[in-house]
Structure 1
Amino acid sequence: MEKQFTLRKNEDFKRVYKKSKHYYNRDFTVLVKNNGVNRPRIGFSISKKVGKAHQRNKLKRRLRSIVYNNYRYINNVDIIIIPKKHTTDFTYDKLKSSLGHVLNKAFKEKKINYVK
């Protein structure tokens, strides 16, 4: 994913954590905040509780792939995706459907089907 589409600075993460809407399902927590930029910016927050480094990296690579294939459907928001501990055992398709479910809940107000 290109750098312009990622949240990288700690201040950006803090701003989203403080002033965002939270959306949940049993597998993910998603924080969404308008950003005033004409592109989405996406960050991942994966705790050490999720697993060892190779498990977290594999999960992050899969999530980046899912988001990269579908980011063109949204604009003007900062998103932080926080997976739960048991998501390291999921297949790619299960991750895609679960993340799609919570993101569709988040963007229901905008009438966007995020993951197709």
Structure 2
Amino acid sequence: MSRGRRTRLTDSPEFERVYRQGRVYRGKLFSVHAFPNGLGHPRLGLSVSKRVGGAVVRNTVRRRLREVFHTSVGEGHGGMDFVISARPAASEASFQDLKEEFERALRRLEAGGV
């Protein structure tokens, strides 16, 4: 999957649509909102507030979450928009912890639960 601009959510209205109309998974490290986009490829939006930590910590969490997304989302999630909102615990989590929680979120969202 390419990692360019086409895989990112950047506009406020896009975030709002996913928040308001999408399904949600709430975990201890982050919450994931998901909503179909009709584009045929997945897109990611990240929300990492100052409660997570300083600028260096927030950027580290963003990079890790972006990599988790790209390694976990396959063709089965082709037309979905995802918004991940990091919780403060994400700053202490390992990459593997983030990956496991994101994969758990995908399974729950696919099952229609939560």
Q: Where in structure 2 are the equivalents of 1:63-78 lying within 5 Å? A: 63-73=65-75, 74-78=77-81
Note if contact 2:72-2:99 (Cα within 8 Å) is conserved in structure 1.
no
Q: Secondary structure at the match of 1:36?
A: coil
CA distance in 1 between partners of 2:61 and 2:96 (Å): 12
Q: Does 1:107 align with 2:110?
A: yes
- Checking the alignment, whether the CA contact within 8 Å between 1:32 and 1:79 is kept in structure 2 is yes
Identity percentage of aligned residues: 28
Question: Number of residue pairs matched?
Answer: 109
Alignment-mate amino acid for residue 36 of structure 1: G
Structure 2 equivalent of residue 114 of structure 1: none
Normalising by the residue count of structure 1, what TM-score does the alignment of the two structures yield? 0.86
**Given the alignment of the two structures, is residue 9 of structure 1 paired with residue 4 of structure 2, yes or no?**
no
Q: Which residue of 2 aligns with 1:32?
A: 34
* Partner Cα separation in structure 1 for residue 97 and residue 74 of structure 2: 21
Task: Measure the CA separation in 2 of the matches of 1:84 and 1:4.
Answer: 26
Whichever residue aligns with residue 94 of structure 1, its letter is D
One-letter amino acid of the structure 2 residue matched with residue 33 of structure 1? F
Aligned to 2:38, the other structure's residue is in SS state: coil
CA distance in structure 2 between the aligned counterparts of 1:26 and 1:101, rounded to whole angstroms: 12
Aligned equivalent of 1:113: none
| Runs of 4+, deviation exceeding 3 Å | none
Q: How many angstroms does 1:70 deviate by?
A: 2.6
Distance in 2, matches of 1:81 and 1:88, equals 14
Partner of 1:81: 84
Deviation at 1:31, TM superposition (A): 0.5
Gaps of 5+ in 1: 110-116
